[in-house]
Structure 1
Amino acid sequence: MLVGYARVSTQEQDTSVQIAAMHAAGVRVIFEEKASGAKFDRPVLRQCLASLKTGDHFVFYKLDRVARSLSDLLKILDRVERSGACIRSLTEPIDTTTPTGRLMLQILGAMAEFERSLIRERCMAGQKEAMARGVHCGRALSVDDATAVAIVEAYATGLYTLKGVGQRFGVSDSVVKRLVYKKTKPNYRS
Structure 2
Amino acid sequence: MKQRIGYARVSTDDQHLDLQRDTLARAGCNLIYEEAVSGKSTARPELEKCRKALREGDTLVVWRLDRLGRSLSNLVQIVAELEQRGIGFESLTEKIETDSAAGRLVFHVFAALSEFERNLIRERTQAGLAAARARGRAGGRKPKLDNQQVREIKALLRDRDIPVAEVARRYGVSRTTLYKYVGVIMPRQ
Q: TM-score, normalised by structure 2?
A: 0.52
CA contact (8 A) 1:55 1:86 kept: yes
The residue correspondences of 1:106-117 to structure 2 (distance < 5 A) are 106-117=108-119
* Residue 30 of structure 1: how far off its partner (Å): 2.5
TM-score (norm: length of structure 1): 0.51
Residues 110-125 of structure 1 aligned to structure 2 (within 5 Å): 110-125=112-127
Distance 1:167 1:4 in 2: 55
Which residue pairs with 1:25 in the alignment?
23
> SS state of the match for residue 68, structure 1?
helix
Look up the match of 2:69.
Answer: 65
Quote the residue 1:3 is aligned against: 6
Q: Distance in 2 between matches of 1:97 and 1:121?
A: 35
Aligned partner of 1:102 among 83, 101, 104: 104
Tell me, what secondary structure is at the counterpart of 1:47?
helix
Distance 1:175 1:20 in 2: 52
- Residues 33 and 105 of structure 1: is their aligned pair in 2 closer, same or farther, counting only changes over 3 Å? farther
| Identity in percent | 25
Superposed, 1:5-154 pairs within 5 Å as: 6=9, 22-23=20-21, 25-26=23-24, 28-34=32-38, 44-52=46-54, 55-59=58-62, 61-62=64-65, 65=69, 68=73, 73-79=79-85, 81=86, 85-126=87-128, 128-129=130-131, 143=144, 147-150=145-148, 152-153=150-151
Q: Which amino acid aligns with 2:69?
A: R
What is the letter of the counterpart of residue 53 of structure 2?
A: S
Quick check: 1:60–1:89 contact (8 Å CA) kept in 2? Answer: yes
Name the stretch that deviates more: 148-157 or 24-33: 148-157
* Distance 1:131-1:178 versus aligned 2 partners, 3 A rule: farther
Task: Quote how far apart the aligned CAs of 1:92 are.
Answer: 3.5
Higher Cα radius of gyration: 2
CA distance in structure 1 between the aligned counterparts of 2:141 and 2:13, rounded to whole angstroms: 28
In structure 1, list runs of 5 or more residues that go unmatched.
8-12, 181-190
* Contact 1:151–1:176 (8 Å) recurs in 2: no
Q: Which sections of structure 2, spanning at least 5 residues, go unmatched?
A: 26-31, 159-163, 183-189
Cα distance in 2 for residues equivalent to 1:89 and 1:101: 10
Give the aligned residue type for 1:89.
S
Matched residues in 2 for 1:92 and 1:177: separation?
56
Contact 2:7 2:34 in 1 (8 A): yes
Query: Size of the alignment, in residue pairs?
Result: 161
| RMSD after superposition | 4.9
* In 1, Cα distance between equivalents of 2:92 and 2:153: 57
